[in-house]
A and B are shown apart, each in its own frame.
Chain A
Amino acid sequence: MTDVASQIMGLRRARPRNRFVRVSVLLIALLIAGAWVVGPRDPERGFADGAVMRGFQLQDTFNQRRLTNLQNFLQRIRPYPMRESSWSWSEAASWSVDLLRDGGGEAMVNTLATAAAAIVLAGLAGLMLCWPAARNFACAQPFSHDVSQVRPSQRRFWSLLVVVTRAFLILTRSIPEYIWAFLLWTLLGRSLWAAVLALALHNAGILGKLGAETVENVDPSTPRALRALGASRGQLAAIGLFPPLTSRLLLYFFYRWETCVREATVLGLLGFATLGKLIDDRRVSEGYDDELVFFVLLGAVLVWVGDLLSALARGYLRRSA
């Protein structure tokens, strides 16, 4: 073995290896193989199935009957006025305009408004909740050199505050928006407030967590200097922490706005007055598959509009000092 080859071998042996990562990678491989081989188990039967591995039954889906269903579906989505005759763009356009005027346009605006209201509320909540969740700020003496005067009771209070805020943030972001909306639909009544709050709660958890991470990762030199000059907690936050937090949080805000537009569409499937309600109405009625697909395409247009607004706003912000 040449000298270079043995050097390379030495480098390879000395590379940083993390046991946690290696075990995790093995676990992931096993999990993926297991998921595809075992497939979904029927929770109704529990242990009754023994060790039967069914996998994802491809023949259930890709068989003749379902392909026939799919072919029928592709014929059914032809717009109603043109079922018997040939395709004409003017017919399609007038049919589309009728659908838009009949509730489609209003549903689109409602969807955007729901997403906007929800993300604004979430942004406010995230901005307020990220402070008590950031360990370097929510402590007895943030950014100070001398922490000897801190009493144990003070330390416990601040720890408790951080833990409670983080628990709240984890709770709100672990429950999917759809399930939140489902719960609030029953508990708060059927107004759009339930949808807005559901989206706002979930995204407040996410934005709060991201905000807390930003505060924790801030460069401590400026806050420390301010503290050494005698700044109070509020002054410290306003001058040393708020500017980088706002910049970062605005970028996350627009990223979550994109998701909110998609979710607002989908929450209508529960019954809220957004685009999803029109889709759900067409789903349960027989023979309206053409309108169902039209509204799905409208949803795609809405998402495109939302993404465009978000990209424009983020580009605008990135160019600022």
Chain B
Amino acid sequence: MNAATAAPIDRRMGGRRRGVLIAIALVGVWAGWRLQLNPADLWPDAAHWRAIGRFFLAALTPAWSYETEAPLGAAPLPIKAVYAALTTLIFAVAAASLSTLLGLVLSFFASTAWWADDPVGAVGSVRRWLRKTLRPTIYVLARSVIALMRCTHELIWAVLFLTAFGLTPIAAVIAIAIPYSGTLAKVFSELIDETPRGPSEALRASGAAPMTVFLFGLAPLAIPDLAAYAIYRFECALRAGAVLGFFGVTTLGYYIDGAFAMNHYREVWTYLYALLILVAIVDWWSGALRRRLTA
């Protein structure tokens, strides 16, 4: 949204911001009243204090072996935690790679960058008519598909797949990939639309075809930002993969659920630490990569 097309700027000193802040505060108060959130309720009773105490004490001594009789043939607990983390990573990589691919394709149709400008030179009337009717239709269609994909959380997609035909690993990957592709497509298309048009304008002025302008004038500028967001989505996919474990997929969430159900808090912390280490490593690597990409 550049200055030429924006609505007139409101020059009152922070008036809009103050209004929004007041509105937010009022909505917060309404929400607290509606949900009957009493701050006094936050103070747990004795039984819960014991549970809380036991839980956080267990944080200091995560389990290295099973807390009760382990089933025959089960892998040692640390190995299981590492493999669960690995499986979480594999799910996340599969889901993120699939979403990035779909998101790229969809974002191409949902951005205005590749069809809004007329090419230099004579264009036949048929092609001009096509550009006026077909491409806006594709744009609106693409945006609608993206909105549909984005409107449901990946866990709800997982529940739908679970009810419809069971949650196999590939179904779990697709359940994560559907909303993620939608979000990636939306953000990619916005990033593409916001890239500086200097190089592409120069290419167009020198007579290049629209596809050449896009591939060589626009894409190289947009790719670092696209990659940075895709990496952020991968981090989110990691967490989504862990949570899918609560629905039967053998990732870290599955084992956290199981250990919690048996009140093996120390085992829970083993898996939680595994998750935290995994997330920390990926967080560090992605931060370093994003810094170098968008420097």
Closest-by-CB residue of B relative to A116 is B31
Q: Which residues of A contact B74 (CB under 8 A)?
A: 44
Q: Nearest 10 pairs between A and B by C-beta?
A: A46-B75, A120-B28, A320-B16, A43-B83, A117-B31, A35-B93, A116-B31, A69-B165, A300-B151, A73-B164
Q: Which residues of B contact A61 (CB under 8 A)?
A: 165, 168, 170-171
A84 within 8 A of B: no
B192 within 8 A of A: no
Closest-by-CB residue of B relative to A70 is B165
A147 within 8 A of B: no
Q: Which residues of B contact A74 (CB under 8 A)?
A: 164
- A69 in contact with B28 given A174-B280, A303-B152 (CB within 8 Å): no
- A20 in contact with B289 given A193-B37, A243-B14, A283-B159 (CB within 8 Å): yes
B218 within 8 A of A: no
Give A300 to B31 CA distance when docked, in angstroms. Answer: 21
Residues of chain B in range 233-273 having any CB-CB distance to chain A below 8 Å: 239-240, 242-243, 246, 249-250, 253, 255-257, 260, 272
Closest-by-CB residue of A relative to B1 is A318
Residues of chain A in range 67-123 having any CB-CB distance to chain B below 8 Å: 67, 69-70, 73-74, 109-110, 112-114, 116-117, 120-121, 123
B interface size (C-beta, 8 A): 92
| B141 shortest CB reach to chain A, Å | 18
Q: List 29 A–B pairs whose Cβ atoms lie within 8 Å, in order of A's numbering.
A: A21-B293, A24-B289, A32-B93, A35-B89, A35-B97, A39-B169, A42-B83, A43-B75, A44-B80, A56-B169, A57-B170, A70-B165, A74-B164, A117-B31, A175-B275, A179-B275, A183-B260, A192-B35, A243-B14, A246-B17, A262-B153, A266-B156, A276-B156, A289-B163, A292-B163, A296-B152, A296-B160, A319-B16, A321-B10
Q: Which residues of B contact A32 (CB under 8 A)?
A: 93-94, 97
Residues of chain B in range 114-140 having any CB-CB distance to chain A below 8 Å: none
B105 within 8 A of A: no
B46 within 8 A of A: no
Residues of chain A in range 243-290 having any CB-CB distance to chain B below 8 Å: 243, 246-247, 250, 253, 262-263, 265-266, 269, 276, 279-280, 283, 289
| A73 shortest CB reach to chain B, Å | 4
A157 within 8 A of B: no
Asked if residues A41 and B165 are in contact (CB atoms below 8 Å), the reply is no
Q: Which residues of B contact A110 (CB under 8 A)?
A: 34-35
Asked if residues A46 and B17 are in contact (CB atoms below 8 Å), the reply is no
B4 within 8 A of A: no
Q: Which residues of B contact A45 (CB under 8 A)?
A: 73, 75
Partner of B79, one of A46, A114, A197: A46
Give A293 to B152 CA distance when docked, in angstroms. Answer: 12
Of the 9-residue stretches B48-56, B61-69, B199-207, B208-216, which lies at the interface with chain A? Answer: B48-56
Residues of chain B in range 66-90 having any CB-CB distance to chain A below 8 Å: 73-76, 79-81, 83-84, 86-87, 89-90
Asked if residues A43 and B160 are in contact (CB atoms below 8 Å), the reply is no
Q: Which residues of B contact A247 (CB under 8 A)?
A: 17
Q: Which residues of A contact B97 (CB under 8 A)?
A: 32, 35-36
A interface size (C-beta, 8 A): 88
Closest-by-CB residue of B relative to A195 is B35
Closest-by-CB residue of A relative to B42 is A193
Give A262 to B199 CA distance when docked, in angstroms. Answer: 39
| B18 shortest CB reach to chain A, Å | 9
Asked if residues A170 and B280 are in contact (CB atoms below 8 Å), the reply is yes
Give A120 to B24 CA distance when docked, in angstroms. Answer: 7
Asked if residues B12 and A321 are in contact (CB atoms below 8 Å), the reply is yes
A156 within 8 A of B: no
Asked if residues B166 and A66 are in contact (CB atoms below 8 Å), the reply is yes
Q: Which residues of B contact A24 (CB under 8 A)?
A: 285, 289
Partner of A120, one of B8, B31, B91, B171: B31
A299 within 8 A of B: yes
| A226 shortest CB reach to chain B, Å | 18
Q: Which residues of B contact A26 (CB under 8 A)?
A: none
Q: Which residues of B contact A70 (CB under 8 A)?
A: 164-165
Give A38 to B280 CA distance when docked, in angstroms. Answer: 24
Give A188 to B55 CA distance when docked, in angstroms. Answer: 12
A178 within 8 A of B: yes
Asked if residues B288 and A20 are in contact (CB atoms below 8 Å), the reply is yes
Closest-by-CB residue of A relative to B56 is A187
Asked if residues A35 and B90 are in contact (CB atoms below 8 Å), the reply is yes
Partner of A279, one of B16, B31, B159, B283: B159
Give A263 to B28 CA distance when docked, in angstroms. Answer: 17
A230 within 8 A of B: no
Asked if residues A123 and B24 are in contact (CB atoms below 8 Å), the reply is yes
Give A36 to B169 CA distance when docked, in angstroms. Answer: 11
Closest-by-CB residue of A relative to B147 is A304
Asked if residues B32 and A299 are in contact (CB atoms below 8 Å), the reply is no
B15 within 8 A of A: yes
Asked if residues B7 and A319 are in contact (CB atoms below 8 Å), the reply is yes
- A182 in contact with B246 given A56-B173, A299-B156, A300-B151 (CB within 8 Å): yes
A10 within 8 A of B: no
Asked if residues A57 and B75 are in contact (CB atoms below 8 Å), the reply is no
Asked if residues A188 and B44 are in contact (CB atoms below 8 Å), the reply is yes
0/1 string, A35-59, CB within 8 A of B gives 1: 1101111111111100000001110
Asked if residues B288 and A304 are in contact (CB atoms below 8 Å), the reply is no
Asked if residues B83 and A117 are in contact (CB atoms below 8 Å), the reply is no
Closest-by-CB residue of B relative to A247 is B17
Asked if residues B166 and A21 are in contact (CB atoms below 8 Å), the reply is no
